[in-house]
Amino acid sequence: MPTYNLYMGCSVPANYPNYEAAMLRVAKAFDMELEYMEDVACCGSPNLRAFDYFGWLVVNARTIAIGEKNGNDIVTPCNGCFGSLKDVLYHLKHDDEMRKEVNDELKEEGLELKGTIKVRHFVEALYTDIGIDAIRAKVTNPLDGAEIAIHYGCHLLRPEDVTEFNPEVLKELIRVTGAKVTEYPLWKQCCGATVLPVNEPLAIRLARDKLNSIKTAGAEFITVVCPACGNQLDLQQLGMKESYGEEYDLPVLLYPQILGLAMGMSEDEVGLNMNRVPAQGILEHLVE
């Protein structure tokens, strides 16, 4: 069965252990061997790229080079990490001079980025390597057609030539659980997470635009595959209620939570009680 280098980054383990646990349980059910990478740290996020391009390259090239030692693809549940690692790999594959400079920095540790492995988002690896049919075979408690809106997150989708992610992947992964995919106009739009440190009202406006678009389209739930997007769409709903009296009542679930529940896992196993907007409502949509 496929073995992967699991790169967690810092945000999922610290803020979304429910995402981590649900992902590990789902992976285990399909014999995907996710092995935590050793001796790696944070990707630095797009913020690091903004003020220290070279540092961002070296930090992420280092992670990729560590992965290359055993030759297994790197898998991550976080769009921020995915974006950083994919972007760095793309930049260094297209810039021989810079790759040499970065590798000079890594030499001290005996590392070298060669570009021999892929960086992948967990949902893409699940879709491609396990396949929809094998997933369907394990769905024992399908959803009853509940309306779920997908928020992909920018760094999963764009730049397309870098991320190589096909949006249909998540749609199929949602449909196989028995849920319906709610189409909504702003499906591609940013959640606002990146601008939070610089302009909070702007970040809130973006989350609000998104939630309004989703609510109006008739969704009952939202699914995300990124902790930063999770913060913006889930946690911020509590803040909006408190600060502006706005109530969207849209529970936000990490994708493996939904699949896990449809595969018969308990709400504790997928950490449902840690979702900020109470998400227990989804249990009523499971067909026994």
Partner 1 sequence: MAETDEKASPPVTLVDPIDMSKLDPSFRDDVKSMPNGEELTACFACSTCTAACPIANQWDFKPHQLIRMILLGMREEVLSSREIWECLTCFECQERCPQNVRVTDIFFDCKNLAAEEGYEVPENVLVLGKELVDKGQLYVVTADWEREDLDLEPEVPGLSVEEVEKILKKTRTGRLVGGE
Q: CA-to-CA distance for 123 and 179, rounded, in angstroms?
A: 17
| Helix (H) / strand (E) containing 64 | helix 53-68
Paired with 148 in beta bridges are 181, 221
Q: Does 76 bind partner 1 (CB under 8 A)?
A: no
Six token digits for residue 37: 């990478």
Task: Say which residues have a Cβ less than 8 Å from residue 284's Cβ, sequence separation at least 6.
Answer: none
Under the criterion CB under 8 A, does residue 281 sit at the interface with partner 1?
no
Q: Which is nearer to partner 1, 74 or 176 (CB)?
A: 74
Nearest-angstrom CA–CA distance, 261 and 268: 10
Binding of residue 40 to partner 1 (CB under 8 A): yes
Chain residues 130-169 in contact with partner 1, contact rule CB under 8 A: 154-155, 157-160
Q: What DSSP designation does 187 have?
A: T
Verify binding: residue 235, partner 1, rule CB under 8 A: no
Tell me which residue has tokens 């913060």: 231
The answer to the question of residue 172 lying near partner 1 (CB under 8 A) is no
C-alpha dist (Å) from residue 154 to 51, 100, 181, 193, 283: 20, 30, 19, 10, 29
- Is the CB of 8 or the CB of 286 nearer to partner 1? 8
Q: Which of residues 100-129 bind partner 1 (CB under 8 A)?
A: 105, 109
User: What distance in Å separates the CA atoms of residue 272 and residue 241, rounded to the nearest whole number?
Assistant: 21
Task: Give the binding-site size for partner 1 (rule: CB under 8 A).
Answer: 59
Beta carbons of 138 and 29 less than 8 angstroms apart: yes
Q: Return the number of the residue (195 or 235) whose C-beta is nearest partner 1.
A: 195
By C-beta, is 39 or 133 nearer to partner 1? 39
Give CA 90 to chain center in angstroms.
19
Does residue number 240 form part of the binding site for partner 1 (CB under 8 A)? no
- Could you tell me the smallest distance in angstroms from the CB atom of residue 222 to partner 1? 18
Q: Is 97 in the site for partner 1 (CB under 8 A)?
A: no
Give CA–CA dist 219/17, Å, rounded.
25
Q: Does 13 bind partner 1 (CB under 8 A)?
A: yes
H or E element at residue 181: strand 180-182
Report the residue from 28, 33, 70, 95 that binds partner 1 according to the rule CB under 8 A: 95
- Tokens standing for 202? 């702007």
Site for partner 1 (CB under 8 A): which residue of 48, 132, 139, 240? 48
The single residue among 73, 101, 147, 209 that binds partner 1, judged by CB under 8 A, is 209
Q: Which residue among 175, 239, 274, 276 contacts partner 1 (CB under 8 A)? A: 274
* Residue 226 sits in the site that holds partner 1 (CB under 8 A): no
Query: Which residue's CB is nearer to partner 1, number 56 or number 248?
Result: 56
Task: Tell which residue, 200, 151, 207, 141, has the closest CA to residue 176.
Answer: 141
In sequence order, the β-bridge partners of residue 150 are 223
Residues in contact with partner 1 by CB under 8 A are 8, 10-11, 13-15, 17-18, 20-21, 24, 36-42, 44-55, 58-59, 62, 91, 95, 98, 105, 109, 154-155, 157-160, 188-190, 192, 194-195, 197-199, 202, 206, 209, 269, 271, 274
